[in-house]
Chain A
Amino acid sequence: MSVGKIFKFHNDLDTDQIIASQYLLLPTIDEMKVHAFESLDPEFPVKVKPGDFVVGGENFGCGSSREQAPGVLKALGVQAVVAKSFARIFYRNAINIGLPVIVCRQLPDAVETGDEMDLSLTDGTATAGGETFSCTKLPPYMKKILSQGGLIASLNREEV
């Protein structure tokens, strides 16, 4: 993992805001990704660079089960989503496509959009503004799926 810039969003951020329903008809995630966060920050897809972070508050990714939500974030190169808590379908979907989702109670209140952050999945820590915050480590089952690059890679490895 390496240093990236933070894009911070509010509590109860729902998946309709990450990618709106009308774009779910586009044939590919790459065509959808230019509409990520369109209602909140239309410039986001242009500003975000590979390796950057999305930071949320409580209940990140609530609402619709659309896997396209973590999908567009991964396609834009977002390194990880760090939030105080996640909605469960978003959380599962993100792990299954190989996008790290990290629970960190303190960090979201201590950072702003534009701040730089460093994340260590191995140590379970995030560092921003000279301060290091501890994050909840993933359960082993999910860590395995993530480390293999998502559910597809994981299933292929089991030769189902």
Chain B
Amino acid sequence: MGQTIVEKIISRNIGAEKVEPGQIVTVKVDRVMLDDIMIPFIVDKFHEMGFCRVWDPDRVVLIYDHLVPSSQLDDIRHYKVGDEFAAKYGIEHVHRSDGICHQLMTEAGYVKPGDVVFGTDSHTTTYGCVGAFSTGIGYTEMAAILGTGTLWVKVPETIRIHISGTLPANVMSKDMILRIIGDLGADGATYRALEFTGDTVERMSVSSRMTMANMAIEAGAKCALFAPDEKTAQYCGVSLDGFQPGLAGDRDAAYLKTLTYRAEDFVPVMACPSQVDKIREVKDLAGLPIDQVFIGSCTNGRLEDLQAAAKVLEGKQVAPFVKLIVTPASRKVYEEASACGAIGTLVKAGAMVTHPGCGLCCGRTGGILWDGERVVATNNRNFLGRMGTSKVEIYLASPAVAAACAAAGAIVCPL
């Protein structure tokens, strides 16, 4: 009997020939991601546990993104705690204004195919886009990893998502993952790994895969994996020699189940307030007036996303009274989107472009909304109160759909 991708990664990590779903094992951690919101709590727990050194400072990455730039005085306290901790324990990988943690972890080369990675944020599942086993944990467990370099995990069962065929022109990977979350339900993959296969997935860019791995947590998944290929190797700056070529699920691996999709069947969809699995076709929501559009986040703030939005808004104007907020996922994305003209097109259309970071996605800075307002957003959660008061209606959509809505001033399907 063969193994799924996550089983292969865990087997290799613990030096076993094979692992079985349900087995509890202790893994050696390849990399950890600490974010600015959680850092004071991680530091407190680290000291409470009595550790006096970080197991391997080179494997630790500290990223300020939720609170950048500061909008409250307490934000600065978080930077100070992080800076002191990094200086004291020799942590050199610190990003203070470079972008969103999940974008930077792969973009800056911290995560490679086959790695085992943990982060203090639920969207740590994102790194499955390059074939790494990565998942979110709390600050107490992060403190324990910083001291020991290990963590116990239960080997998850794997659900395979097989997609073949060619996507319609106005459909993005966001539409696919929203539909899949709708089909699985908000807890349909709880404790489980997702594994994406099929020729549609093979043709997708690493950025598009990232959007899907990022949102797997919205179906409860522990991780979401794509087999690394040439595109992954190029993106990560590694060669595919050695272990990586074997990092695909085996034909005879034991999958819990397989969901099969035809790419041609996907259509533009939205997650309606206030559950990510409440999926409806955009055409059925058409005409609903909107107050704001947000294009950004670790889900959809990459170059291809900003280009898709710019293509829709080329030569058009954002509707009167609608605020369009664009937040590139990283400084690198910002630079590239500026160089290719996408940022210019968006600004000309009336967009407000903010500094790379989490921004509006976690409801802290740059465009929070009030009772009764409706926003179309490209991020990953539409929970009550996520982007302002608990009476804001959040509709999640792809960058192309979001841009079309901004121009129309209402929900509309892009051509």
Contact = CB atoms under 8 A, between A and B. Distances in A.
Contacts of A12: 186-187, 275, 277
Given A27-B40, A59-B220, A141-B152, A89 B78 contact: no
A124 interface: no
A58 interface: yes
A59 B186 contact: yes
A21 interface: yes
A67 B140 CA distance: 8
Contact of A92 (B38, B77, B138, B147): B138
Contacts of A156: 49-50
Interface string B47-77: 0111100000000000000010000101101
A43 B398 CA distance: 38
Contacts, number: 115
Contacts of A39: 384-385, 390
A63 interface: yes
Contacts of A17: 383-385
B45 interface: yes
Interface string A22-48: 101111000000000001000000000
A22 B363 contact: yes
A88 B74 contact: no
Nearest to A141: B24
Nearest to B150: A160
Contacts of B75: 25
A118 interface: no
A59 B187 contact: yes
Contact of B190 (A27, A64, A85, A92): A85
Interface in A119-160: 139, 141, 150-152, 155-156, 160
Contacts of A58: 187
A52 interface: no
Contact of B141 (A27, A68, A92): A92
B137 A65 contact: yes
A71 B75 CA distance: 21
A79 interface: no
Nearest to B141: A96
Contact of B137 (A27, A92, A141, A150): A92
Interface residues of B, number: 49
Interface residues of A, number: 37
Interface string B105-125: 000000000000000111010
A58 B40 CA distance: 31
Contact of B144 (A16, A89, A97, A155): A155
A87 B140 contact: no
A160 B140 CA distance: 15
B37 interface: yes
Interface of A: 12, 14, 16-17, 20-22, 24-27, 39, 58-59, 62-68, 85, 87-89, 92-93, 96-97, 139, 141, 150-152, 155-156, 160
22 contacts: A12-B186, A16-B383, A17-B384, A17-B385, A20-B385, A25-B75, A27-B40, A39-B385, A58-B187, A64-B122, A64-B381, A65-B138, A66-B38, A66-B138, A87-B190, A89-B136, A92-B137, A141-B152, A152-B45, A152-B49, A156-B49, A160-B50
